[in-house]
């Protein structure tokens, strides 16, 4: 009797395997088709469950590494202290100058009757989890929808752009980095207003390098120049630092430059990030009706109200 049931199991198994493989394949195909829009509910649930494990583990591990780190740093503390004292004195002078400039700016603005430029609110977050698969490099932070985090909100660290929020649970959020090959953002070489070298920055599948494309080969671009977001992609605000140009493969009048940028955010070593609670402005009706514009169902959530 037992032998027969074992045979039945072995007869049933290939069909079960086919069903499971098909299910997984459909899930993959669905995810690949709508990778940039919305989020899968399974990700939200998993993140919520994982948070109860990831947060304590991160807290303990960072406390332990911090303890040993502080012991090893004790040796250089004296010289560092002297250097910092000197730097504080310099910065006090600088702050005084800045205060004067701010007051002057406010006075001039009131004279010109300009509205104050709205500031973007920032939410600091700690990275509590990294991508469990070595093939990808997304991160999970300890801020979620309860604190106002929404899909596609930009994330920065160390003064540079890191990526955007791609999944939000009540307590956590997943961040996709700009180094991912499917990422893309509008960028400009040099400060906005001082330059007109526009292009698109996308990932190269290398952990510390992104590529700027579609920059006309007839414009002058140098290694060492800084690249900022242009704000034209409908996700990132203008003026965020992307990184520094490390290589330029010069194009021609008909062939665009190939520009490689090292992100300034220190993606591989970051432990804390800042989420910009920024929602892009509403696009005009005309732009929404462009042939290549995203439809209502496919649009990135959070990009429009």
Partner 1 sequence: MGQLKITIALILAILLQWTLRNVAEPFAYIDFPLIIVVYAALQRDVLKAIFFGSFAGLAVDALSGGLLGSNGFSKTLIAYAVSELARRVYMDNLLLRIPVIAGACLLDDLIYYGMHKLLGQEPVGQVIIVIAYTLIGTTIAGTFIYLMLDSTLVERRGNKKRDMFPTRRQTRRRNPIRFTK
Of 31, 90, 99, 100, which one interacts with partner 1 (CB under 8 A)? 31
Question: Interface mask (CB under 8 A) for partner 1, residues 41-70, using x and -?
Answer: -xx-xxx--x--xx--xx--x---------
Find the shortest distance in angstroms from Cβ 248 to partner 1.
23
The verdict on 24 binding partner 1 (CB under 8 A) reads yes
DSSP string of 43-93, one letter each residue: HHHHHHHHHHHHHHHHHHHHHHHHHHHHHHHGGGHHHHHHHHHHHHHHHHH
Find the shortest distance in angstroms from Cβ 47 to partner 1.
7
Contacts of 239 (CB under 8 A, 6+ apart): 192, 228, 229, 231
Of 138, 145, 258, 288, which one interacts with partner 1 (CB under 8 A)? 138
Cβ nearer to partner 1, comparing 231 with 263: 263
Region from 36-44, 100-108, 229-237, 245-253 binding partner 1, contact rule CB under 8 A = 36-44
Distance CA 53, CA 150 (A): 23
Question: Two tokens at 41?
Answer: 């509910």
Cβ nearer to partner 1, comparing 105 with 124: 124
Cβ nearer to partner 1, comparing 20 with 101: 20
Burial of residue 131, with CB atoms counted within 10 A of its CB: 0-12 exposed, 13-18 middle, 19 or more buried: middle
Q: How far is CA 160 from CA 25, 169, 299, in A?
A: 37, 25, 26
Of 144, 161, 176, 257, which one interacts with partner 1 (CB under 8 A)? 176
The verdict on 230 binding partner 1 (CB under 8 A) reads no
Burial of residue 212, with CB atoms counted within 10 A of its CB: 0-12 exposed, 13-18 middle, 19 or more buried: buried
The verdict on 77 binding partner 1 (CB under 8 A) reads no
CB 229 within 8 Å of CB 189:
no
Find the shortest distance in angstroms from Cβ 65 to partner 1.
9
Question: Interface mask (CB under 8 A) for partner 1, residues 179-198, using x and -?
Answer: xxxx----------------
Contacts of 264 (CB under 8 A, 6+ apart): 158, 159, 160, 226, 241, 242, 243, 244
Of 67, 68, 135, 286, which one interacts with partner 1 (CB under 8 A)? 135
Cβ nearer to partner 1, comparing 31 with 220: 31
Residue labelled with tokens 């042939």:
291
Between the two ends of the chain, the Cα-to-Cα distance in Å is: 63
Find the shortest distance in angstroms from Cβ 133 to partner 1.
4
The verdict on 27 binding partner 1 (CB under 8 A) reads yes
Distance CA 41, CA 46 (A): 9
80-99 residues in contact with partner 1 (CB under 8 A) are none
CB 179 within 8 Å of CB 187:
no
The verdict on 7 binding partner 1 (CB under 8 A) reads no
Residue ranges binding partner 1 (CB under 8 A): 9-10, 13-14, 16-17, 20-21, 23-32, 35, 40, 42-43, 45-47, 50, 53-54, 57-58, 61, 127-138, 140, 166, 174, 176, 179-182, 205-207
């Amino acid at each position: 009797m037992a032998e027969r049931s074992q045979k039945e199991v072995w007869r049933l198994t290939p069909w079960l395997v086919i069903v499971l493989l098909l299910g997984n394949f459909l899930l993959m195909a669905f995810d690949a088709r709508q990778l940039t829009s919305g989020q899968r509910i399974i990700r939200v649930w998993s993140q919520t469950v994982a948070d109860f494990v990831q947060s304590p583990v991160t807290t303990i591990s960072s406390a332990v590494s911090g303890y040993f780190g502080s012991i090893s740093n004790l040796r250089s503390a004296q010289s560092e202290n002297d250097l910092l004292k000197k730097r504080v004195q310099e910065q006090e002078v600088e702050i005084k100058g800045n205060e004067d400039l701010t007051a002057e700016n406010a006075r001039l603005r009131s004279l010109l009757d300009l509205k104050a430029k709205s500031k973007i609110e920032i939410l600091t977050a700690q990275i509590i989890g990294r991508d469990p698969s070595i093939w990808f490099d997304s991160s999970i932070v300890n801020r979620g929808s309860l604190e106002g985090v929404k899909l596609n909100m930009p994330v920065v660290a160390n003064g540079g752009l890191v990526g955007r929020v791609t999944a939000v649970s009540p307590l956590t959020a997943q961040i996709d980095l700009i180094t991912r090959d499917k990422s893309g953002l509008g960028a400009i070489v040099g400060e906005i207003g001082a330059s007109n070298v526009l292009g698109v920055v996308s990932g190269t599948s290398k952990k510390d390098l992104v590529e700027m494309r579609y920059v006309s080969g007839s414009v002058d671009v140098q290694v060492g120049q800084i690249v900022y977001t242009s704000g034209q992609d409908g996700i990132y605000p203008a003026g965020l630092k992307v990184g520094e140009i490390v290589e330029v493969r010069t194009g021609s009048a008909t062939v665009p430059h190939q520009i490689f940028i090292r992100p300034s955010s220190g993606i591989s070593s970051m432990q804390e990030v800042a989420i910009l609670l920024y929602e892009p402005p509403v696009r005009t009706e005309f732009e929404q009706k462009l042939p290549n514009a995203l439809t209502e169902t496919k649009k990135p959530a959070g990009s429009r109200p």
